[in-house]
Amino acid sequence: MTMRTGGLSVPTDLRSAVVGTIDVSHDRLFSRVLRVSAWGCVVLIAVLSLLPAEDMVRTPLGGHVEHMTAYAGTAALLRLSYPRQGKRIAVAMSMYAGLLELLQNLAPGRHPAVADWFFSSAGALLGIVLIHVTCQVWWRRRAGQA
């Protein structure tokens, strides 16, 4: 027996699952670890964003790639932690990036940059979209096997 959800037939034994997302709520330990990791990344972004200029750590990739990578990974973890909140996470991460850029005025040797905010926001959106697409593919394959 199957049920129709958002244009996708899902077997009823998968009824507790959220189509288009990975349902981690069934495993409380995994869910907790995922959420702690996601919020740890949120805090880490703030700490790294507000370090004084002389304490900054850089990679050979460049600042914009670093911004995109950090925000994409954090947004992906948040999206997995809160499966139905993709849009809110995207907006919140963009606002968070803007706030941290503004707060850089208070860090010695740091300055805010619109380009940094843009790449941070783009990275957050990328992380959310990657998780969404991956979950869609996973659910379609799983529904096809049942």
Domain range enclosing 141: 2-145
d(CA 96, CA 41) in angstroms, rounded, equals: 13
The token duo for 117 is 């905010």
Residue 27: predicted pLDDT: 79
Number of domains within the chain? 1
Find the radius of gyration of the CA atoms of the chain.
18
Residue 123: predicted pLDDT: 98
Residue 39: predicted pLDDT: 97
Q: What is the pTM assigned to this prediction?
A: 0.78
In this structure, what is the dihedral angle of CA atoms 55, 60, 66, 68, given to the nearest 10 degrees? 170
Q: What angle do CA 71, 46, 28 make, to 5 degrees?
A: 65
Q: Which residues of the chain have pLDDT under 50?
A: 1-21, 24
Residue 11: predicted pLDDT: 44
Residue 16: predicted pLDDT: 43
